[in-house]
Amino acid sequence: MSVLDAKIPEGPIKEKWTNHKNNINVVNPANKRLIDVIVVGTGLAGGSASASLAELGYNVKAFCFQDSPRRAHSIAAQGGINAAKNYQNDGDSVYRLFYDTVKGGDYRAREGNVYRLAEVSANIIDQCVAQGVPFAREYGGLLDNRSFGGVLVSRTFYAKGQTGQQLLLGAYSAMNRQIGKGKIQMYNRHEMLELVVVDGKARGIIARNLVTGSIERHSAHAVVIASGGYGNVFYLSTNAMGSNVTASWRIHKKGAYFANPCYTQIHPTCIPRSGDYQSKLTLMSESLRNDGRIWVPKNKADVEAIRNGSKSPVELSEEERDYYLERRYPAFGNLVPRDVASRAAKERCDAGYGVNETGEAVFLDFSSAIMRYGKEKANILGEADASKERIRELGEGVIESKYGNLFQMYEKITDDNPYKTPMKIYPAVHYTMGGIWVDYNLMTTIPGCYAAGEANFSDHGANRLGASALMQGLADGYFVLPYTIGDYLSDDIRTGPISTDTPEFEEAEKSVKDRLEAFINNKGTKSVDYFHKRLGRVMWDKVGMARNEQGLKEAIEEIRQIREEFHKDVFVPGEMNELNPELEKAARVADFLELGELFALDALHRTESCGGHFREESQTEEGEAKRDDNTFAYVAAWEWTGDPGKSNLHKEELTFNDIELKQRSYK
């Protein structure tokens, strides 16, 4: 019997959440005033949780390392948010959203959680509209939808290419209302560096004021971690520069299990790396694949010529091009799911067909779409005998109206005009499905410590569908956590304020200070980034899109090596008691260096391929991912033992009562 109890309520899947809400304990309003809750992170999950908890009456202390809650990286999400509203009358339902999400996650998610997510999804849209989120609308004044990421219905609500921004600003506005009322105490430019556990319960955090450098103690009756994902373990990712695993890793080291760390989503359409100085990768919306065709040259000679600039890609005839997605997946073509598209690009580039100087880029070509739309437009305009140039011009206009802002962004970054020459794209790390293990109530294995949003592992399984991250973050924060946390806090109404003047706080504060002082006093020779880049290289090469046993074993060794060197030789300039970005980075990279090893270990132990985790040893004859449901239909939750490489594995078996397990196929 596993030590993990997911606490999934009994009963039919449709009634689980309702029954659960009816049966859990609640705290009466007068008592909520006596209870403090700390929320770390102010993205969609943290922001919405802070606002909702404060509305309920709890005293919330919210923390973010940015200078304002509004800057959390949820803001960068482009595409949209799914909800089972069925406004388009195309047969969408809670069940279908549930089904798509479990299938998209390659059957490695918990049914109960996903069903709840689908169930509350519709409320999110109602809620956001009431808050004044300006979703896209049709001329009739009703909300518009688009389809997304290979599902068969239109259920994605969006606000141009800035849906994440609009939703986050909605949550931020709800927070502002509570900050104005004094119900949320906001700690901007504060970073949580340790969890404080008293008598086995999470009772506070140690945070560093990033401006003054002072180490502060904050107590509460419960702690919510909503600090996002850990994609930056790869150094280069579409995550923000500051995105980090520290809050999650700190609670992991205090007893919270870390689940499925190896489930990483690699997004296929990002702007490729241009040099060693590269600090981050920029995502180009997945929607581009609706009209763009992905290809590389058929002949290596052409590849060479394109790389050294002696040939332009537009000079290549159709016969000289390899539209490899259309070739391999005739049914879905360029619209295969993210993981499939990413691996296919890597396969071509590894085979030597990458089209830029680094050999890590493929073309995303809009010329067919431009001509196709151009012809349509010409017909509409009655210009039946339009010249090729005229058709091209009309087509470019259509493309501009659809993707103008993306094309402009691409041109700003690369200085190439994507209307005239194909875009170069390459996959990049985008989202991490893995995270802190939580039960149905979103509580971690530490009582009183919760994890929400990307920081937890719960709803996406091994792969996340497009437009589902926003849904999950807001569902957790607005509609799940505010209920479930009351069940736990109902025991705390007589506890009274938690003192920070206890040995536990003392000890936690000291450990933080020691850790940071060690960096300052280290006086090594290499910068933090030097180590972070090395870690990223190992992760990308050996724990990236395709993994194998040998590579993973090497990666573990190399990461250990880098970690050792890091602690010996890192140089952190400046002082403790000042704004010191290098010190902040050092603390984060130290945690990444530990996580990286666990990540590789998890990838090594899971010898099947599933979703974002592709083991070269486990593929079909055609080179597609092959799951092993008999052995691996479980959540791998790792327990900290003092050494990431020796973490204890706990398994939470996944049972599927409402969905039949199938091998995904996009042929």
Partner 1 sequence: MKLTLKIWRQKDANDKGRLETYQLDNVSEHMSFLEMMDVLNEQLIAEGQVPVAFDHDCREGICGMCSMHINGEPHGPDRGVTTCQLHMRKFKDGDTIYVEPFRAKGFPIIKDLVVDRSAFDRIQHAGGFVSVNTSGNTQDANAIPIPKDDADKAFDAATCIGCGACVAACKNASAMLFVSAKVSQFALLPQGKVEAKRRVINMVEQMDKEGFGNCSNTGACEVECPKGISLENIARMNREYLKATILSE
Cβ 203 to partner 1 shortest distance, Å: 26
Please, what's the b/e burial string for 516-547 (b: 16 or more CB within 10 A of its CB; e: otherwise)?
Answer: beebbebebeebbebbbbbbbbbbbebbbbbb
Based on the shown chain and the rule CB under 8 A, indicate whether residue 24 belongs to the binding site for partner 1: no
> Is 338 annotated as catalytic?
yes
Total number of residues that touch partner 1 (CB under 8 A): 85
CB within 8 A of 417, min separation 6: which ones?
411
Q: Which is nearer to partner 1, 590 or 604 (CB)?
A: 590
Helix, strand, coil abundance in the chain, percent, nearest 5: 45, 15, 40
Please, what's the b/e burial string for 411-426 (b: 16 or more CB within 10 A of its CB; e: otherwise)?
Answer: eeebeeebbeebbbbb
Cβ 500 to partner 1 shortest distance, Å: 25
The span from the CA of 36 to the CA of 57, in Å, is: 10
Q: Which is nearer to partner 1, 188 or 619 (CB)?
A: 188
Contact between 519 and 583 (Cβ < 8 Å): yes
Based on the shown chain and the rule CB under 8 A, indicate whether residue 130 belongs to the binding site for partner 1: yes
Contact track, partner 1, 615-654, x by CB under 8 A: ----------------------------------------
Q: Which is nearer to partner 1, 552 or 572 (CB)?
A: 572
Per CB under 8 A, the list member of 107, 135, 187, 566 interacting with partner 1 is: 135
Write the DSSP assignment of 610-639 as a string of letters.
Answer: BTTB-BTTSB-TTS-B---HHHH-EEEEEE
Q: Which is nearer to partner 1, 278 or 290 (CB)?
A: 278
Name the token pair of 272: 């490729």
Q: Which is nearer to partner 1, 168 or 369 (CB)?
A: 168
Contact between 572 and 529 (Cβ < 8 Å): no
Based on the shown chain and the rule CB under 8 A, indicate whether residue 478 belongs to the binding site for partner 1: yes
Find how far residue 525's CA is from the centre of its chain.
Answer: 33
Residue showing tokens 């290809």? 295
Q: How far is the CA of 280 from the CAs of 23, 42, 338, 544, in angstroms?
A: 47, 22, 19, 16
Instruction: State the first-to-last Cα distance of the chain, in angstroms, to the nearest integer.
Output: 40
Q: Which is nearer to partner 1, 478 or 599 (CB)?
A: 478
Cβ 639 to partner 1 shortest distance, Å: 32
Write the DSSP assignment of 147-184 as a string of letters.
Answer: --TT-SS--EE-BTB-HHHHHHHHHHHHHHHHHHHTSE
CB burial class (10 A; 0-12, 13-18, 19+) of residue 327? exposed
Based on the shown chain and the rule CB under 8 A, indicate whether residue 309 belongs to the binding site for partner 1: no
Write the DSSP assignment of 317-344 as a string of letters.
Answer: -GGGEE-HHHHH-TTTGGGS-HHHHHHH
Rounded to the nearest 5 degrees, what angle is found at the Cα of 175, between the Cα atoms of 174 and 177?
70
Q: Which is nearer to partner 1, 241 or 314 (CB)?
A: 241
Cβ 179 to partner 1 shortest distance, Å: 5
**Which of 273, 276, 353, 285 has the alpha carbon at shortest distance from 316?**
353
Q: Which is nearer to partner 1, 114 or 124 (CB)?
A: 124
Write out the binding residues for partner 1, residues 161-200 only, by CB under 8 A.
162, 165-166, 169, 172-174, 176-177, 179-180, 186, 188
Per CB under 8 A, the list member of 35, 39, 60, 75 interacting with partner 1 is: 75
Cβ 172 to partner 1 shortest distance, Å: 7
The window from 102-110, 476-484, 617-625, 647-655 that contacts partner 1 (CB under 8 A) reads 476-484
Q: Which is nearer to partner 1, 41 or 644 (CB)?
A: 41
Based on the shown chain and the rule CB under 8 A, indicate whether residue 90 belongs to the binding site for partner 1: no
Per CB under 8 A, the list member of 24, 26, 76, 305 interacting with partner 1 is: 76
Based on the shown chain and the rule CB under 8 A, indicate whether residue 221 belongs to the binding site for partner 1: no
Based on the shown chain and the rule CB under 8 A, indicate whether residue 227 belongs to the binding site for partner 1: no
The window from 29-37, 134-142, 227-235, 368-376 that contacts partner 1 (CB under 8 A) reads 134-142
Per CB under 8 A, the list member of 7, 280, 298, 390 interacting with partner 1 is: 280
Based on the shown chain and the rule CB under 8 A, indicate whether residue 67 belongs to the binding site for partner 1: yes
Name the token pair of 105: 């996650």
Contact track, partner 1, 315-354, x by CB under 8 A: ----------------------------------------
Per CB under 8 A, the list member of 31, 93, 131, 548 interacting with partner 1 is: 131
Based on the shown chain and the rule CB under 8 A, indicate whether residue 88 belongs to the binding site for partner 1: no
The window from 15-23, 308-316, 477-485, 594-602 that contacts partner 1 (CB under 8 A) reads 477-485
Based on the shown chain and the rule CB under 8 A, indicate whether residue 516 belongs to the binding site for partner 1: no
Name the token pair of 166: 């609009």
The window from 44-52, 225-233, 342-350, 552-560 that contacts partner 1 (CB under 8 A) reads 44-52
Longest Cα–Cα distance of the chain, Å, equals 84
Per CB under 8 A, the list member of 29, 91, 275, 642 interacting with partner 1 is: 275
Count of C-beta atoms within a 10 Å radius of residue 170: 24
Write out the binding residues for partner 1, residues 229-258 only, by CB under 8 A.
238, 240-242
Q: Which is nearer to partner 1, 105 or 242 (CB)?
A: 242
Per CB under 8 A, the list member of 38, 94, 120, 206 interacting with partner 1 is: 120
Helix (H) or strand (E) segment spanning residue 435: strand 435-436
Q: How many CA atoms lie within 13 A of 603 on its CB side?
A: 34
Q: Which of 338, 343, 547, 615 is catalytic?
A: 338
CB within 8 A of 448, min separation 6: which ones?
201, 202, 203, 221, 222, 223, 488
Contact track, partner 1, 529-558, x by CB under 8 A: x-----------------------------
Contact between 236 and 540 (Cβ < 8 Å): yes
Q: Which is nearer to partner 1, 42 or 219 (CB)?
A: 42
Contact track, partner 1, 568-607, x by CB under 8 A: ---x-xx---xxxxx-------------------------
Residue 271 DSSP class: P
Based on the shown chain and the rule CB under 8 A, indicate whether residue 141 belongs to the binding site for partner 1: yes
The span from the CA of 296 to the CA of 292, in Å, is: 13
**Which of 85, 79, 77 has the alpha carbon at shortest distance from 142?**
85
Q: Which is nearer to partner 1, 19 or 282 (CB)?
A: 282
Per CB under 8 A, the list member of 10, 22, 89, 142 interacting with partner 1 is: 142
Write out the binding residues for partner 1, residues 386-445 only, by CB under 8 A.
408-409, 412-415
Q: Where are the alpha helices (DSSP H) in 312-466?
A: 324-328, 338-348, 367-380, 388-414
Helix (H, G, I), strand (E, B) or coil at 487: helix
The window from 27-35, 124-132, 252-260, 359-367 that contacts partner 1 (CB under 8 A) reads 124-132
Per CB under 8 A, the list member of 137, 510, 646, 662 interacting with partner 1 is: 137
Instruction: Return the active site residues.
Output: 338
